Amino acid sequence: MQTDHGLEVVRIALIGAGRIGTMHAGNIARRVPAAELRTVADPRLDAAQQVAALYDATATADVDDVFKDPDIHAVAITSIAAAHADLIEKAAEAGKAVFCEKPAGLTMAEIDRAVAATERAGVPFQVGFNRRFAKDFAAAYRTIRDGGIGTPQLMRSITRDPGRADGVVRAANVKPWTIFRETLIHDFDTLLWLNEGAEPIEVYTRADTLVAPQYKEKGLIDTAVVMVTFDNGAIATAEANFSALYGYDVRGEVFGSKGMVTAGRHGSTPMLQYSEDGIQQRTLRSDEEMFADAYVQELCDFTDAIRTNGTPPVTGADARRALRLALAAMKSHQEHRPVKPEEIA
């Protein structure tokens, strides 16, 4: 590898030039030390070319070009979720380190196949659970780990995506089960991470289509609350909604025998405006705004794992545990009953 200020340069190909992919491309090219965005791949060649042109990278509509290129060390998979497992497997077989946005698969069979491929190839594999890399969530984790709140008793994780007064943004395009496998999966990972060493023993879901009821027959669920009971006694709730008119709302809370920690914020700046209308604050409007530094840090840790041949901080096993909770929550919703995670094979 060539070096950049003493660090070996990691050449990365981006697979998927959508919103998240475009954001990751900029971070790889400009904010991750000694990382190089080598190629952007997307079946929509024009989309790949548009992103690649920003960072002097090459573009291709054929993902196999990435896997065949010996100069590419790693891939960042930001495609549609349904393609993740296949792409992980192909990348691993080509000897590329893999960073994949969540979820790493949509079924247990998919994720097991993907994880097994990375293990056979011996390549680093990291999944993009960004909250672990946010400073406030990371500080909460360390406090809990060090005994600062005693034994966790009540836990809460919230994801409320920005909405608008007339309903869910692009509701017709939201695929069935998105709220569990692509939204709440962040909350499930957060709860598992913050309650380290404990195992979930029961999952119960209440969910409905409250914001855009006209799409209910198409499988849209836009509002959900999931209760997770752990074997250390902790009772957790994960909730999601697709229509927070006031902005992007992601928070976590762990209450324990010796105290409590919270993480997450509403304001995009600490500034408060005082006027005849009251006190106002500008709120965060996107994940890119709230987790800007976390998105960079997760890729920094990924490239460090490649250089040291180490284990990335979020592994395939972590992705599997979170997906299992998501699938248990789905089953609970379908069957209107509590579900034990071991029911999900």
158 DSSP β-pair partners = 239, 251
Phi, psi of 98 (to 5 degrees): -125, 125
Confidence (pLDDT) at 5: 66
Is 40 within 8 Å of 28 (Cβ atoms)? no
Token pair of 277, please?
Answer: 């209308």
Is 13 within 8 Å of 75 (Cβ atoms)? yes
Reduced to 3 states, what is the DSSP secondary structure of residue 34? coil
Phi, psi of 122 (to 5 degrees): 70, 30
Cα–Cα distance for residue pair 208/174, rounded to 1 Å: 14
User: Mean pLDDT, consecutive 10-residue segments, the chain of 345 residues?
Assistant: 78 98 98 98 98 98 98 98 98 98 98 98 98 98 98 98 81 92 98 98 98 93 98 98 95 98 95 95 94 98 96 98 98 98 96
Confidence (pLDDT) at 172: 83
* DSSP state letter for 283: B
Confidence (pLDDT) at 146: 98
Cα–Cα distance for residue pair 245/192, rounded to 1 Å: 29
> How many Cβ atoms from other residues are within 10 Å of residue 283's Cβ?
19
In terms of C-beta density within 10 A (0-12 exposed, 13-18 middle, 19 or more buried), how is residue 280 classed?
exposed
With a CB cutoff of 8 Å and minimum separation 6, the contacts of 130 are 186, 287, 291, 294, 295, 298
What is the H or E stretch that residue 27 is in?
A: helix 19-30
SS (H, E, C) 48-105: HHHHHHHCCCEEECCCHHHHHCCCCCEEEECCCHHHHHHHHHHHHHCCCEEEEECCCC
